[in-house]
Amino acid sequence: MPAITVRFRKPADWAEPVLIHSWDRQPAGGGSQWPGVPMAADPEHPGWHVFTFDDTTRVHLVFNDGHGRQSGDLARERDGWYSFDGHWQAAAAPAAAATRAPGDPPPADPALVRETPRPVAERTDFREETIYFLLTARFNDGDPSNNFFCRDRIRFDADGNAVDPHWRGDFKGLIERLDYIRDLGFTAIWITPPVENRSGLDYHGYHAYDWTRIDPRLESPDVTYQDLIDAAHTRGIKIIQDVVVNHSCQYGIRGHVHIDHLPTKYYVPQGGEQGRVSHGPYQGNLGNYAWANRDDIDNPVAPDWWQARHARDPHGSEPLQDPNTGETVPKPGYEPGRFFGIDPQGLDPNWYHQDGFICGGDWESPRPLQQRHIAGDCIDLATERENVKDYLIGAIKRYLDMGVDALRIDTVKHIERDNLLEYVNAWKAHKPGLFVFGENLVKGYGWGDLGGGDNGPSEIRPWWYTRLGSDPQNPAAGGDSGFPQLDFGLFSTFRDTLSRGTFEGTGQVLSMDWIYGDVTSLVTFLQNHDVGPDNDFKYRFKGETWMAAAAYNLIWTARGIPCLYYGEEIEFMKGAPQDVEGERDTLETTGRAYFGDHLTEARIGETQSHPLYQHLKRLNLIRRNVAALQKAPMSHVAEWGSGMRFVRDLGDDGAGGGGYAVIGLAIGSEQAVDIGDVRPGRYRDAVTGGEIHSNGHLSFRVKANSAGIWVLNGPGKIGDDGPFLR
């Protein structure tokens, strides 16, 4: 005779006896009268109750105590163990070894808290991830032999020696500190573009010269890009590759198109003398000091006169006639633009736009923004041409085949939406399930033609790229494009809130979530390599530590995928400009300073003990174990300056547990949170471990700069208390 035996472990405050109510038993049908029949205590498993349904292959059931406390509606087709967590188990979880003092909240069930992420191959929804963003060349130096000084912004010590190479971190150094990132709880690493670059200041990777080749200044004889991808996957970490579609460097693209210049080794500034340059490792001339021939490029499609000089005259002393003017170089003070600039009208129209440089109001007007060049080393590609598409799409496919898990697209608003989606959709077709997001930088809400004080049209705003419609005043005119963006709208509110210790205005931004194709896939952040929330968005966050902690509480509990910029976990370069400002500034004065000094064996313990490090580590652990925080939209949103509250509800997708959470946030002072019209049932706070049995209403208090994360049928307290989550 078939039978189903179920066991149930009741919460401590349930009354006895534990009852089980059943209906629709198969194959015979029938069930019990509410509230059901008593379950027996299981003598072999203390704390558990047991009941057997004879002659049963399937049954619907509810556990309850006859006094208003009950589970949700459940169904069972085989034996199982249920501990009010929303999940059936194959066996009893081991009993907790530790005891707790009277009045302490019950600990989380260890069987329900995942300390480490599932393997990469099993995580197919990128909303499960949290992202650690780093500039590879500035993170950690594993191989000093591949270090390189750019021509510009060289730092000298007191004795006149060049120090702090721009290209300093590398893949070997990143692999050495993957465990650091994993310990911090991040499951994806966004690296700056790793393809080969050429520019006077190209360490960050945004001046691509050859998309088909990884820059050798990042690799080592024993460590390749493939090694980094494989090492990250072994540790359960995904790799996000940054991709530039909009522009190339000022030298063209190796093997495809050449941009006319004179070789840098022939440049002599006014008042100078060839062979007398003394600029760090650039001795004699400004040509690439790491190459014997001292040239900047090795482009086989460069003209014959260039090719002839590429192979000889490393000293730049043999006279060369400028084919454009007939002038002979080297010549002190000769036109610098012939060495470092471009003539837009002389560009190859098969590869580049010829409309000049962006200036003034162009930054808020679609056509010039998308047809003109950003800067002298960012030359606008004709992305609508088939040869450009074939080259860029084909190049990136290779990295997807190597195992790259996701792509971040740079300078999105500089490419017309439907044109850019051709690239995005081609990569997604090549690797089904690929997550691709974009950077559409806006210093404001970014609502475009929808209002909100925006002085730019919708066609260059983030929401437009997440949609497929053609009405700039109606986002609902088109569905989800499948191309989410970095959430600059939410970021922009931090300028006016965090440094004043308030959430005021945040609710207004969240009220516009409906404009995005899929708001739960936006990538949220406090700062990055270009911007920070202070003053004119140029600096690393310089507010108090508790203000940053409160911001992370919001970012990690609101919709979207959280992203942290390297060093935020220790307030690295707090208050510094994100990029060089003054004419003589060098990188160590900026938010792009070298981080590896904090990751040495002598200092890493100090780094990991920073209160924000521990705070972010716990936030990552909580988010990993609460599905609603990963994937659910927000509702019931309200903010009152010093506090916020909202609900994350996965609906039917979260019926298995962890899919419904009520969030309360406090900034600056302790707050009382009161919220109605929520699901009835038992809630446990992932922060404090407290329990509330709700009939549709929740009231709780949140300590200053902390959070209440009350999860329906949740596991209880996750992680250990710290100064900001307690």
In the chain the first and final C-alpha atoms are separated, in Å, by 52
d(CA 706, CA 549) in angstroms, rounded, equals 8
Which tens digit of pLDDT belongs to each residue from 80-118? 888 765 567 777 654 433 334 445 555 666 657 888 899
Asked whether residue 397 falls in the same domain as residue 287, the answer is no
Asked whether residue 141 falls in the same domain as residue 207, the answer is yes
pLDDT over 60 (residue 377)? yes
- Residue 109: the pLDDT is 62
Q: How many CB atoms lie within 10 A of CB 458?
A: 23
Neighbour-count burial of 98, counting CB atoms closer than 10 A to its CB (0-12 exposed, 13-18 middle, 19+ buried) = exposed
- pTM of the predicted protein model: 0.86
**Residue finishing a domain among 627, 656, 681:** 627
Which tens digit of pLDDT belongs to each residue from 502-520? 999 899 999 999 999 999 9
Which tens digit of pLDDT belongs to each residue from 16-38? 899 999 988 999 888 999 899 99
d(CA 168, CA 174) in angstroms, rounded, equals 11
Residue 250 within a domain: no
CATH number (domain holding residue 686):
2.60.40.1180
Band the pLDDT of 68: cuts 50, 70, 90. Answer: confident
Asked whether residue 605 falls in the same domain as residue 463, the answer is yes
Asked whether residue 361 falls in the same domain as residue 438, the answer is yes
Which tens digit of pLDDT belongs to each residue from 171-190? 999 999 999 999 999 999 99
**Tokens 């004043």 appear where?**
500
Contact by Cβ (8 Å): 83, 89: yes
In total, the chain counts a number of residues equal to 726
The continuous run of DSSP H or E covering 366 comes out as helix 366-371
Asked whether residue 496 falls in the same domain as residue 429, the answer is yes
CATH number (domain holding residue 10):
2.60.40.10
Which tens digit of pLDDT belongs to each residue from 683-703? 999 999 999 999 999 999 999
- CA 293 vs CA 85, 257, 286, 290: distances in Å: 68, 21, 12, 9
Which tens digit of pLDDT belongs to each residue from 248-270? 999 999 999 999 999 999 999 99
Across the range 659-682, mean pLDDT stands at: 96
Asked whether residue 163 falls in the same domain as residue 264, the answer is no
Residue 411 within a domain: yes
Band the pLDDT of 654: cuts 50, 70, 90. Answer: low
Sequence-distant contacts of 470-473: CB under 8 A, at least 24 apart: 472/448, 473/449
Contact by Cβ (8 Å): 707, 663: yes
Which tens digit of pLDDT belongs to each residue from 402-412? 999 999 999 99
The total of structural domains in the chain comes to 4
**Residue finishing a domain among 627, 644, 660:** 627
Handedness of CA 587, 593, 597, 599 (dihedral sign): negative
pLDDT over 90 (residue 74)? no
Handedness of CA 561, 567, 570, 571 (dihedral sign): negative
Tokens of 130: 């949290």
d(CA 584, CA 593) in angstroms, rounded, equals 15
- Residue 84: the pLDDT is 62
Sequence-distant contacts of 687-691: CB under 8 A, at least 24 apart: 687/622, 687/717, 687/718, 687/725, 687/726, 688/105, 688/717, 688/726, 689/104, 689/105, 689/106, 689/107, 689/108, 689/716, 689/717, 690/105, 691/11, 691/13, 691/105, 691/106, 691/716
**Residue finishing a domain among 292, 315, 341:** 341
Across the range 272-294, mean pLDDT stands at: 96
Neighbour-count burial of 614, counting CB atoms closer than 10 A to its CB (0-12 exposed, 13-18 middle, 19+ buried) = buried
SS3 434: coil
Across the range 210-217, mean pLDDT stands at: 98
Asked whether residue 377 falls in the same domain as residue 479, the answer is yes
Asked whether residue 232 falls in the same domain as residue 135, the answer is yes
Tokens of 659: 């899919």
Asked whether residue 640 falls in the same domain as residue 689, the answer is yes
Residue 723 within a domain: no
Asked whether residue 471 falls in the same domain as residue 356, the answer is yes
Residue 528 within a domain: yes
Nearest Cα neighbor of 531 from 583, 490, 492 is 492
Asked whether residue 390 falls in the same domain as residue 489, the answer is yes
Tokens of 177: 């500190």
Residue 210 within a domain: yes
Residue 652 within a domain: yes
Residue 255 within a domain: no
Which tens digit of pLDDT belongs to each residue from 559-600? 999 999 999 999 999 999 999 998 899 999 999 999 999 999
- CB-based contacts of 653, cutoff 8 Å, min separation 6: 631, 659
Type of residue found at 416:
E
d(CA 535, CA 487) in angstroms, rounded, equals 19
Residue 100 within a domain: no
Asked whether residue 34 falls in the same domain as residue 87, the answer is yes
The range of the structural domain enclosing residue 56 comes to 3-95
